[in-house]
Amino acid sequence: MTRQPLRVLGIETSCDETGIAIYDGENGLRGHALHSQVDLHAVYGGVVPELASRDHIVRTVPLIQRVLAESGLAPRDIGAVAYTAGPGLIGALLVGAAIGRSLAYGWGVPALGIHHMEAHLLAPMLEDNAPEFPFLALLVSGGHTQLVEVDAPGAYRMLGESIDDAAGEAFDKTAKLLGLGYPGGPALSKLAGQGTPGRFSFPRPMTDRPGLDFSFSGLKTQALVTLNQLGGAEAIDEQTRADIARAFVEAVVDTLAIKCRRALEQTGLKTLVAAGGVSANSQLRAKLADMTAELGGRVYYPRPEFCTDNGAMIAYAGYLRMKAGLQQDDLGFQPRPRWPLMELEGMPSGEHAAGEK
């Protein structure tokens, strides 16, 4: 009898994107699909948790059916179900957890609750040219900005994190100040590309002192002060708006690069991984590429579609944890809207070879 490879169905419903994927231990990613709720929330200027939860209820099962069909697989071919257990919006997490746990029970396979930030951290391992362990990870996703030393999957040491607004939050809040709507981050980055270099100068917070923590709330305040000095967002022209955006983006990018350089030098690591939605920012990618090259190292990213929330990273993290024999849930699942990465159970060493597909 031919041995069936371990295939893990991944379900991501932590916020405003419904992601489904299947990861195959022998053949890699078999299929994935994503539904974004951007249009649903844009009219409100931000994510409405109740609407997000309701949309996940509508989208999750049809997306699972679609991915199974497009992969040429049936429920009997799935060996485990992985779902995002946290951190995230509690209602949204409950949808993915309830559906994932129910499917696992019905199919007679294990269920695994996955840490959202660990999945982001491991997302670059889905690429053909994957980084090798150990490496430094810059996680810039939503409400998180973190620097993590990664020895192996599940073996993490927190080096620094945001003490107030994360980079993504500061992007969204500053975009709102400039009247750019939702989602603000990508619009702000695009507008910054049209800005005049040097017209405005924003500080690089917490770079003039030791340590690897971040603080971005002051940059949002600096943008507000600048706007008020000019008479408010309604009083400025489009070029001034772009110039402010450029000053803000340059300050965030420089701050992230400075802290990454400091962490690489302190740890002696040469490999940097950047993951999460902000890691898709073109200005940040260029800055980190130059910085790591100067140090004789290299930076790795997930492909752009896997920088934002997605099911592929959940399926892959679930595969690693399933293979390691960890975190198989019973019927009493418990999503965690707040879940520090350092509280995550580790994996036994030797369970993973770098770049394994």
Which residue is it, tokens 């002051």? 218
**Amino acid at the residue 346:** G
**Annotated binding residues for substrate, as ranges?**
139-143, 172, 185, 281
Q: Output Rg (C-alpha) for the chain, integer angstroms.
A: 21
Which tokens go with 6? 């371990």
How far apart are the C-alpha atoms of 235 and 209, rounded to whole Å? 37
The DSSP line for 194-254 is TSPTTSS----TT-SSSS--B--HHHHHHHHHHHHHTT-GGGS-HHHHHHHHHHHHHHHHH
CA pair distance 45, 42, nearest whole angstrom: 5
Q: Which helix or strand (DSSP H or E) is residue 119 part of?
A: helix 116-122
Name, in order, each residue with C-beta under 8 angstroms of 123's C-beta and a sequence gap of 6 or more.
275, 302, 306, 307, 310, 312, 313, 316
> Measuring CA to CA, how many Å separate 336 from each of 91, 328, 344?
10, 16, 12
- From residue 2, alpha-carbon distances to 5, 109 in Å are 9, 19
Burial 95-124 (b: 16+ CB within 10 A, else e): bbbbbbbebbeebebbbbbbbbbbbbbbbb
Task: Give whole-number Cα distances, 51 to 21, 37, 44, 183, in Å.
Answer: 23, 9, 11, 16
Cβ 285 vs Cβ 258: under 8 Å? no
Cβ–Cβ contacts within 10 Å for residue 298, how many? Answer: 16
Structural tokens at position 318:
């679930």
Residue list, annotated binding site for Fe cation = 116, 120, 309
- Binding annotation: 116, 120, 139-143, 172, 185, 281, 309
Q: DSSP letter string over 21-66?
A: EEEETTTEEEEEEEEE-HHHHHTTTS--HHHHHHHHHHHHHHHHHH
